[in-house]
Amino acid sequence: MFADPDQGVGIVDVWEMRAGDFVTITNRCEDLPSWFELHPTEVCGRLAYKMMERLNKGYRPGDILDGPNLWRLRAGDRLAWTGSPRHATPCSGSILAVLDFREAALAIGETNRDQTMEESVAFGSLTTEGQRPENAAKCHEAVMFVRQMGVPRTLATDWQLG
């Protein structure tokens, strides 16, 4: 946030989606997949009270759940969706949408494809096709667009839902 405006925005992560892949972006516990468990350090507000009840009933949390298909978005983050134009989706060049997060959210990548363990671990990783110069140009276009949006009006250093 306090960096030079020309250098302050960068790409933190990239997911290349394949046929059968989908992403859920949410900050509602009801939308989290059944296999995802929030850690006590990842909750605040109303969820902290629910977590306290669980802890008082004997719940013992494990490690914070992480993986290549989880992306913890913080307030102030921006997520750009790039790709080929869709018929029903208005877009600007190859930018299909830019989400400007004012609260923490979780992006969960999943697939309907049958996968090996190696493919699961490599969820969203770039294929040879994804590394082509024209696809890198789409990412560059998104970074330039986000820079033009200016400094975010919100900022969070920690990731917590609630």
Position 105 scores a pLDDT of: 97
What is the rounded distance in angstroms from the CA atom of residue 110 to the CA atom of residue 69? 7
- How far is Cα 60 from Cα 55, in angstroms, rounded to an integer? 7
In contact, 107 and 78? CB cutoff 8 Å = no
How high is the pLDDT of residue 119? 77
Q: Which tokens in the block code for residue 75? A: 């307030």
Six token digits for residue 89: 């989706």
pLDDT, one tens digit for every residue, the chain (162 residues): 445 555 566 677 888 888 899 999 999 999 999 999 999 999 999 999 999 999 999 999 999 999 989 999 999 999 999 888 777 777 778 899 999 999 999 999 998 888 777 777 888 888 888 888 988 888 888 888 998 998 888 888 899 998
